[in-house]
Amino acid sequence: MKEKDSIYDFENIEETTKSKKSGNRSNIFLGTFFLFILVIIIGLSMDDLKCHDLEAVYGVLVSTLFLGGLGITLIVNGIKSLKKIEREKLTDKDKNYILDQMTAFKNLQIKAKDIEPLLTLKSREYLATCTIEVTSADVRKILKKYQNKDISNKLLYNWVNILWFEDCYVFDTVCEGIIKAIWDNYQESDTLSNVKISDFLNKLYIL
């Protein structure tokens, strides 16, 4: 089982969604507050309104149009946005596309920046139910590319980073140990030495 003792960049997705919900609730509260203020204004102006004071009537009318319109707009838009977030669902086409892209990333056919927009809270919930197997051949291929300088250090780091922290990727015991060892290495050093690469490859070749 993966020990997730660090957090990588995409982990802020859930917090972003929570922040959006909080923002929408704040808008609903603010809209309700404006309507409450409007009720107070009308209540305080009732005597003047009964006397048909034109200035009071004008003031209440302006307040109604501004505070009432703003309050209702904030409430309606806030409720709509909350419902949109809660009801957002992935279609089968969406699910297949996301899974295909995550598989393509496993083989480094696409880069991390290509899958980042896909990793919404809903898609990550779906991916947690999926299984993309990472084999010793997959890891060997990527390490060989790095050894031959076909891919950059940053690309290898992003690859290991995402494979280690996304629940859809599964490894056998040896592959998991090597992926974690590479991740741990990057916590101590900016690069992966040729000696370590050779050691990892030797372990993978005996599988």
Most confident of 15-19, 76-80, 93-97: 93-97
Q: What is the pLDDT of residues 165-192, one digit of tens each?
A: 888 999 988 888 999 999 888 888 888 8
Per-residue confidence (pLDDT) for residue 54, from 0 to 100: 67
Share of the chain above pLDDT 70, in %: 80
Residue 9 reports pLDDT greater than 50:
no
Provide the whole-model pTM: 0.59
- Residue 1 confidence (pLDDT): 43
CA distances from 75 to 27, 54, 63, 85, 133 (A): 6, 30, 17, 16, 46
How much of the chain, in percent, has pLDDT values that exceed 90?
Answer: 21
d(CA 128, CA 131): 8
- Per domain, the residue ranges of the chain are 11-87, 90-205
Among the ranges given (88-92, 179-183, 194-198, 199-203), the one the predictor scored with the smallest mean pLDDT:
88-92
Question: What pLDDT shows up at residue 37?
Answer: 81
pLDDT at 13 over 70: no
> Which position has the higher pLDDT, 139 or 84?
139
| Alpha-carbon span 154 to 191, nearest angstrom | 9
Residue type, 8: Y
Q: Which of 129, 128, 140 is nearest to 175 (CA)?
A: 140
Output the pLDDT for position 101: 93
pLDDT of residue 85: 63
Q: HSE (CB half, 13 Å, CA atoms) of 140?
A: 11
Q: How far apart are CA 75 and CA 131, in angstroms?
A: 41
The chain-wide mean pLDDT, for the chain, equals 80
Beta bridge partners of 169: 132
40 band by pLDDT with thresholds 50, 70 and 90:
confident
